[in-house]
Amino acid sequence: MYATVGEGTKALSCIPVGQVLNVVGPLGQGFEIVKNQKVLVIAGGLGSAAVMQLCKELVHHNSVDLYLGYKDYQSAIPTEFFPLDCNTKIATEDGSLGTTGLVTTILPKADGYDVIYLCGPLPMYKALLPSLHKHPKVFASFETRMGCGYGVCAGCSIRVGGKMRKVCHDGPVFLMHEVDLDCLV
């Protein structure tokens, strides 16, 4: 699942169904999978697609609360793509599905969870930061423009823990409290 937003995804959208593609992956560092924990997964927009497999892996050994946020019903990923064992809540900006508002408006308090996973747009991360900044285990997946995709060009670098890190190679998942969100656009 993807949205056509740049030259790469535009080219991808023109490939006919059934066309065979060569793909290199997975690259970088993904989400840490925990066991026997109370887990909160928060995803916004297309970030929901990225957490589908994460939820499938987590639900076997954890209690998982999944909060999804979308612009509207048409942009939502159907809940049947997610494990039934997740306690799933949905918010849409226009109220056409679930609760009206942003996903940040329906979230429970973070201190009741052992681990929190995030995947979504930067404004969502910035909105969540005040309520999550003291939680020690918040893993967030970041997206930046990538030139090469495997760590050579450094075009996707962001400041993590006071050092520049490559999202494609060192990430895309980092501990959120280590990422300098103010330096991201």
Q: Each residue of 13-49: b (16+ CB within 10 Å) or e?
A: eeeeeeeeeeeeeeebeebeebeeeebbbbbbbbbbe
C-beta separation of 118 from 139 below 8 A: yes
Domain ranges in the chain are 30-141, 144-170+177-185
pTM: 0.92
pLDDT of the chain, 185 residues: tens digit per residue? 778 888 888 999 999 999 999 888 778 999 999 999 999 999 999 999 999 999 999 999 999 999 999 999 999 999 999 999 999 999 999 999 999 999 999 998 888 999 999 999 999 999 999 999 889 999 999 988 888 888 899 899 999 999 999 999 999 999 999 999 988 87
**Do the bridges between strand 99-100 and strand 115-119 make them parallel or antiparallel, or are there none, so unpaired?**
unpaired
Domain covering 30-141, topology? Rossmann fold (3.40.50)
